[in-house]
Amino acid sequence: MTSVNCKTIRIRGKLLPLHPPLVMGILNVTPDSFHAFSRRQTETEIHSRIEEILAEGGRIIDIGACSSRPGAAEVSEEEEMKRLASALRIVQTHYPDAIVSVDTFRADVARRSVEMYGASIINDISGGESDADMFLAVARLNVPYILMHMRGTPQTMQQFVTYDNLIVDIRTYFAEKVYKLQLLGVSDILLDPGFGFSKTTAQNFELLRRLDDFAVFGLPLLAGLSRKSMIYKHLHITPDDSLNGTTALNTLALLKGADILRVHDVKAAVEVVQLVHAYSNSDPVCGCASE
């Protein structure tokens, strides 16, 4: 058997191995996320989606209450928290062992989600740019932090697609922010290069081709390609018709070193992970263990 050194994240005091890669299922408690299927607002809809993610093999539920599609309307902090709470209470009551990631750029929303509702991970599309208190909040909460690359905001990000060197610029961005986080004592950092955020379609494909360039950080990599515009615009289809394209790009992301796939279609992604894992490994033994 071959020994494999795998990455881990710490969830509630225990190490969660990321080999084979994990699937994160998307739950949007929003009225306007770009893929209509992912929008769930009533208690029944939310409960059904949580159950679906877990039943299909999703290991993490990523709950978002503000759409990050280009030009999305801004949502107040209280409205965001109200929407999140409706889903977090259901998880807390019915699925207390589930691993929940909260998709927010606000430090106080992150704090309340963890302290009041038991969220395990903070997923910040702004990389700490939208709220200066976010890094310190995550350090105090002692939870894993997903650091994503984006320029501007969801309302303005497509105005900021000019780079001196796409990969070098994103690596510099990560290096600076990882350094700040580590100085504060944040040890569980996951990197998300931000497919679709302040990047053109061509830049997104370059980013995917060179995803393994980010292995230099030795940190887990998250790929969020699910039904994004780099698929449906390139193929001249709609987000609703983009599952096949998503599966193709998720396969490439795994081969380039992705440790977590963030997806709308959990079952399809879990199958991709299983097949790529079988292709890439001959009954490996992960070199790390849960505590």
Half-sphere exposure (Cβ direction) of 94: Cα atoms closer than 13 Å = 15
**Partners of residue 148 on adjacent β-strands:** 192
Confidence of residue 17 (pLDDT cuts 50, 70, 90): very high
Give CA–CA dist 109/84, Å, rounded.
9
Closest of 53, 26, 28 to residue 40, by C-alpha = 28
The amino acid sitting at 15 is L
- Average per-residue pLDDT for the chain: 91
Record the tokens describing residue 285, joined without a space: 């033994």
Select 20-278's CATH number: 3.40.50.720, 3.20.20.20, 2.60.40.10, 2.60.120.200: 3.20.20.20
DSSP 8-state code for residue 165: S
Categorise residue 67: left if φ over 0, alpha if ψ from -120 to 50, beta otherwise: beta
So where are the chain's domains?
20-278
pLDDT in tens, 18-62: 999 999 999 999 875 545 555 566 889 999 999 999 999 999 999
Whether the predicted pLDDT of 2 surpasses 50: no
**Partners of residue 3 on adjacent β-strands:** 285
User: Please, what sign has the CA dihedral across residues 183, 185, 188, 193?
Assistant: negative
What's the pLDDT at 1? 34
Confidence of residue 152 (pLDDT cuts 50, 70, 90): confident
Record the tokens describing residue 186, joined without a space: 């944040």
What's the pLDDT at 38? 52
State the average pLDDT over residues 257-278: 97
pLDDT in tens, 134-146: 999 999 999 999 9
Catalytic residues: 228, 262
pLDDT in tens, 221-241: 999 999 999 999 999 999 999
DSSP 8-state code for residue 21: P
pLDDT in tens, 21-33: 999 999 999 875 5
What's the pLDDT at 3? 41
Other CB atoms within a 10 A radius of the CB of residue 226 amount to 29
Phi, psi of 241 (to 5 degrees): -100, 15
Whether the predicted pLDDT of 125 surpasses 80: yes
